[in-house]
Structure 1
Amino acid sequence: MKRKIFWSFLVILLISSTLIGFLSVNLVNRSYTNELEKRLLSNAQLIATMIRSDELDPASNSFQQAMKEMAEVGEVRITIIDSTGKVLTDTRSEAYKMDNHLDRPEVHVALVGKEQERIVRYSHTTDQEMLYVAFPVKLNNSVAYAVRLSMDLSEIEILTRNIVRYIAISTLFGLLIAILLGSKLIDKMIDSIKALVNMTKQISEGDYERRIYLTNDDELAELAEHFNHMADKLNRLITQLSESNSRFQALLASINNPIIAVDPKEKVTLMNVAAEKLFNVSLDDIKGHHLLEVIRNNELDELIKRSLKERTENQFEINLKVPEEKIFRVYTNLIYQEEDPIKVMGLVILIDDITEIRKLEKIRSEFVTNVTHELKTPLTSISGFVETLKSGEIEDEETQKRFLEIIEIETERLTRLINDILTLSEIENIKNKDSKSMFNPSRALKEVESMMRPMASVKGIEFYFEIPGKLSCIKGNEDRMKQMMINLIDNAIKYTPNGGKISFIIYERYGQLVLRVKDTGIGIPEKDIPRLFERFYRVDKARSKKMGGTGLGLAIVKHIVISMAGKIKVHSAGPGKGTEFVISLPLHQ
């Protein structure tokens, strides 16, 4: 930039100097020529007056001698021409040798009685450029002669060359001085401009604290001041925007529901962290892409298009595979421009995962159906036998007694079912209703062993119990833990044939209390293991009912394990090969 300014400045200076020199030379030439013209005309008029007043003969020797003396004094050439164009007198040449001058413009004009302005032309007689003026001499009201005076222009040429030389020298010195002063001025100006450029570059790169202060008192200093003022305002604005954006991003990130914003063409403009995790994408990768590239679902695409076209805010449910199938409730809300509330800038899509809610609703529905079915069976049986006994048709005392025993069995079964339902309901709300505390499980486990060993002995089942001498504490409800182990061992006793074997082993490993209940019973088919902990699910329904099972025992065990932040696993090699339940509970040492 410095080079451009320098050469531009130099070219302008040269052009200006050249124009000034040209105009000066032209002005001097014109002034000098005008002065010569006036002097020549004045002398011509004087000669014409002399001829008229003394009626001198221009061809006489005395007149010619007078003209030569006058020409030498005035350094001019004097020529007298008669009315026919014949040269009578000439101070620089022999008159008789000269051509007729009637065709000379200045002579022709003078002989017709007019005063001719100066004429400059080349003279073959003197072999140089000459300035000519001619004046008519009238005798008896007619032009008798023409007095022509001329002067060579060599002096003007010499003067012009001198002027050009002086102008060239002064221009050269002027250029040198201008270059020295201009270079310093340009350097100072360029330094200021570079400082401004550097400042704007650093601001563009994010350094909004950058400022510039110039010492010179000119427009650049004023510009720098305006830049500083602009940078202050920009810094405040960026800070405000950054804080606002940070709050917005924090708010957006804290929302657990996936949120996506699209423009009127369904191109993604915004997406929160929850949406990125749900669809396994990054906003940087998909920003500006069509929504279908993120959510590959034509049904959702059509619903969003409809919302944009009809300008309506909707909510609907939809199934998406992301990657597993889930149920979502989708809310669409239009985004309006702040300055123009009628103009739609896009759409905000809020996604609510209701898969678990729908599963719970299904489980609740199935639970109600199963409970109704399980309650209906004993109630129907009880109702039937009661009606029979009330009718009085059964007079046999043994039959009546057997009917009453059946009613009692069904009543006990109904009581167990209701108690299990209540227990399961309490465990599901254990966070709110059950108190948790630290306790050592040794005593509770030994009590379970004492309670269950006699039951195993009745069926001739070998009961193996192994527990370390000292166990670490765990957190939970001690009574619930006892109930959990009783349910598991009771199931093992029920489904293990006479003469079988049950082992109950407890140990600590990797910060976990491990409880293993293994039997040599009927086993569980592999296809039934995933559903084993569902409410009212039975592998062998007939056998389970015969043994008095409610179908809720293992569901209760699972919820107790969950309430204690533990895990439960089932291992079975198949029917007739026994089953093993493994429970892991975290220790609190």
Structure 2
Amino acid sequence: MKEGLSFRTALLASFCVLLFLAMLVPSWFYYQSIARAVTEEAINGARKGLETVEWLLEHGSDIRSLEEMHQRIAALAARSGMRITRTAADGRVLLDSEAPLNHVPEMETLINRPEIVAAGTQEMGLAIRYSRNVQQEYIFVARKMPADALFPPGFLRIAVPFSNVKEVLQSLRRTFFLVVAILFLAAALLTHSLILRLRSPMKTLTEGIRAIGGLDFKRRIRFSPDQEFYSLANSVNQMAENIDRHLQGISEEKQRLEAVFDGMQEGVMVLDSQGKILSINKALAQMVDYPPLFKGKRPIELIMSLELQESCERLLKQGGAREESPRKLQIELGDGRIYDVTIVKVEHQEGGMGATVVFHDISELKRLERVRQDFVANVSHEMRTPLTSIKGYTESLLLAEEPDPSILSSFLKIILRNCNHMVKMVDDLLQLARLEALKAPIKASPSNPLEALMAAWRTCSSLAEAKGVTLVHEIPAEGVAVSCDFDQLVQVFRNLLENSIRHSLQGGTVSVGCSVVEEAVQFSVRDDGPGIPKQYQQRVFERFFRIERHRGNDSGSTGLGLAICRHITKNHGGQIWVQSPNPGGVTGSTFFFTLPRATREDLQGDTALPPTL
């Protein structure tokens, strides 16, 4: 059917064509059969007429002249509706029922007429043709005749009009065509009415299928069991239900895979068989600054690592199945992050072997490894110095048979001081480990920072007196309540005071201040020492870290005090930092730390504290 025709038009046209052919072919065959029968009947009549005329000519002995014969022939022709012609053997017309005798010699010869030619070789010649002389179609029948009293040997021919037969046939044909047309029109109208009856269910079915084709898989086509297309509608509904169920399963599976893919902490990059990026997950997107249009790019365009690009290319160029051992390498990005990268070959559905690249951030592991190595080295160094001193003085005492009491006392004091230093270092390490692991619960309660400062200063008084350092504080006399563990607050003040005294000038001053900042209290401990270089200000809170020019064991420092302060303030929800040089100066250092301010609910449980500022 021609493209663009509706189903109704195509169905109607097809049915009409089939109906037309079904009616036309039998009717035409029937018409042809009747036409052949009528024609045969006319031909047989012409033959019988020829035989009748021949009999009359043979038995017309009473006819003595050509004029009488002409009259007899003309009368017979008029009665039978035939045209009778007698010719000589050479085709000259001797007698014709429709031509006067005086005109006969002027008539053209009939020697070349088909019926005359056929009669010369057969018993009887027959031809149905159009006569130009009389402008009609005739059935011509001719037979060879012997000589008689009036005529020499020649041919006898009769002509029966065939136009009458054709008129009958044409009338019959018109009747057939009219009947066929009427039947065809009736059948077409009936077909059209049937198609109109099918139009509504077809429209419903078409709209339903179009909606399902538009991804509306919830759409259903409703037909009653006695309607057409009921089975087809049920099949379409079942198909839509199956597709909807399968798509839901695929969608849920895709969501689960995407959730797993995007929920992974490791960065993941998927490559096609050409080594181009297909997708990345959120973790990898956060690791690198990726362009919005990353698909179709090479890994080196996303991550500036030639080693990664070459490893991916080598893996994809090698043949073999995906069971091949994955490639592993480590890369370091510009921000100092270190990643353990695993490249595995995978097979894609569209064909070809691609690869999956997994990035595992091991920066923290590397940092912890360095911290562990530094810790072991620092502890070894810090322990080695006092142990070497203890060993040296002990060996000296053992070598002396009778050591001088004053020397013995001095050596033993040095040994004791180094032992105390080692004990303090071990205690600080244990406390630092507990703070880092949070194994010791924080007993937060409203605490008076002035009392904690005074308790810490009393502990540091001997060290301060040795250097002539004085303490100046700006904490109000009535106190400022903070929510913390009182003993840990004392330790923070003590560590900061010891650090400030140790680095203050001889006869210097250590100043302690405080201020309320929103829901926290900020404290500051200031000294007038040489200060801390900018590049070391972030590292002074690391364990065992010391600025080399101020390093020494004479002060008894373990190098863990500031690290302990950082963990205590952090565990209380505060912060600690250093500013050097001092604000408005060129030397000195000021350590700041914050602690949560005690709330009114906290203060109601402890009436011994004065009201907060």
TM-score by shorter chain over 0.5? yes
Moved more, 478-487 or 189-198: 189-198
- Cα contact 2:340–2:360 (8 A) shared by 1: yes
CA distance in 1, matches of 2:568, 2:61: 158
CA distance in 1, matches of 2:61, 2:561: 165
> Within the alignment, does 1:6 sit opposite 2:9 as a pair?
yes
> Within the alignment, does 1:266 sit opposite 2:271 as a pair?
no
> Within the alignment, does 1:502 sit opposite 2:511 as a pair?
yes
Residue type matched to 2:132 in 1? H
Deviations 1:403-443 (A, max 9, x none): 2222222222222222222222222222xx22245x22424
- Cα contact 1:262–1:346 (8 A) shared by 2: yes
- The DSSP-based 3-state class of the residue aligned with 1:244 is helix
Partner of 1:71: 77
CA distance in 1, matches of 2:256, 2:17: 63
- The DSSP-based 3-state class of the residue aligned with 2:124 is coil
- Cα contact 1:514–1:583 (8 A) shared by 2: yes
* Pairing 1:28-67 to 2, within 5 Å after superposition: 29-52=35-58, 60-67=66-73
Q: Structure 1 391/179 Cα, relative in aligned 2: closer, same or farther at 3 Å?
A: same
Residue type matched to 1:324 in 2? D
- Cα contact 2:456–2:491 (8 A) shared by 1: no
- The DSSP-based 3-state class of the residue aligned with 1:328 is strand
Q: Unmatched 5+ residue regions in structure 1?
A: none
Partner of 2:376: 368
> Which residue, 312, 323, 329 being the options, matches 1:317?
329
TM-score of the pair, normalised by structure 1: 0.84
Moved more, 377-386 or 563-572: 563-572
Residue type matched to 2:533 in 1? P
* Pairing 1:394-433 to 2, within 5 Å after superposition: 395-430=403-438, 433=439
CA distance in 2, matches of 1:67, 1:216: 83
Q: Structure 1 132/295 Cα, relative in aligned 2: closer, same or farther at 3 Å?
A: farther
Deviations 1:445-476 (A, max 9, x none): 344212134446743523214267564646xx
Q: What is the root-mean-square deviation of aligned Cα atoms in Å?
A: 3.8
Deviations 1:98-144 (A, max 9, x none): 222111111121133333343312x232123333232344679xx94
- Cα contact 1:471–1:508 (8 A) shared by 2: no
CA distance in 2, matches of 1:43, 1:192: 69
Residue type matched to 1:451 in 2? A
Moved more, 181-190 or 386-395: 181-190
- Cα contact 1:440–1:471 (8 A) shared by 2: no
* Pairing 1:406-555 to 2, within 5 Å after superposition: 406-430=414-438, 433-437=439-443, 439-443=444-448, 445-454=449-458, 455=460, 458=465, 459-466=468-475, 471=481, 473=483, 478-497=486-505, 498-509=507-518, 511-542=519-550, 545-555=553-563
Query: How much does 1:526 deviate?
Result: 1.5
- The DSSP-based 3-state class of the residue aligned with 2:112 is coil
Moved more, 376-385 or 16-25: 16-25
- The DSSP-based 3-state class of the residue aligned with 1:531 is coil
- Cα contact 1:449–1:465 (8 A) shared by 2: no
Partner of 1:577: 587
Deviations 1:156-200 (A, max 9, x none): 554566466556766766676566555555556666555455434
CA distance in 2, matches of 1:304, 1:170: 83
Partner of 1:328: 339
Deviations 1:48-69 (A, max 9, x none): 3443455787974444444334
- The DSSP-based 3-state class of the residue aligned with 1:466 is coil
Aligned residues: 574
CA distance in 2, matches of 1:273, 1:55: 130
> Which residue, 75, 80, 98 being the options, matches 1:92?
98
Deviations 1:263-321 (A, max 9, x none): 32223344332223223448x84344443433342211222233331542225232242
Q: Structure 1 317/504 Cα, relative in aligned 2: closer, same or farther at 3 Å?
A: farther
Q: Structure 1 291/355 Cα, relative in aligned 2: closer, same or farther at 3 Å?
A: same
Q: Structure 1 90/565 Cα, relative in aligned 2: closer, same or farther at 3 Å?
A: farther
Moved more, 69-78 or 361-370: 69-78
Deviations 1:565-586 (A, max 9, x none): 4332222226853322232345
CA distance in 2, matches of 1:113, 1:344: 88
> Within the alignment, does 1:148 sit opposite 2:157 as a pair?
yes
Query: How much does 1:372 deviate?
Result: 0.9
- The DSSP-based 3-state class of the residue aligned with 1:248 is helix
Instruction: State the percentage of identical aligned residues.
Output: 25
Partner of 1:83: 89
Q: Structure 1 276/460 Cα, relative in aligned 2: closer, same or farther at 3 Å?
A: closer
CA distance in 2, matches of 1:571, 1:518: 9
Residue type matched to 1:440 in 2? S
CA distance in 2, matches of 1:137, 1:210: 93
* Pairing 1:21-32 to 2, within 5 Å after superposition: 29-32=35-38
TM-score of the pair, normalised by structure 2: 0.81
Moved more, 376-385 or 309-318: 309-318
Moved more, 464-473 or 564-573: 464-473
- The DSSP-based 3-state class of the residue aligned with 2:553 is helix
Residue type matched to 1:6 in 2? T
Partner of 2:358: 350
Query: How much does 1:207 deviate?
Result: 1.6
- Cα contact 1:313–1:332 (8 A) shared by 2: no
CA distance in 2, matches of 1:150, 1:320: 119
- Cα contact 2:576–2:593 (8 A) shared by 1: yes
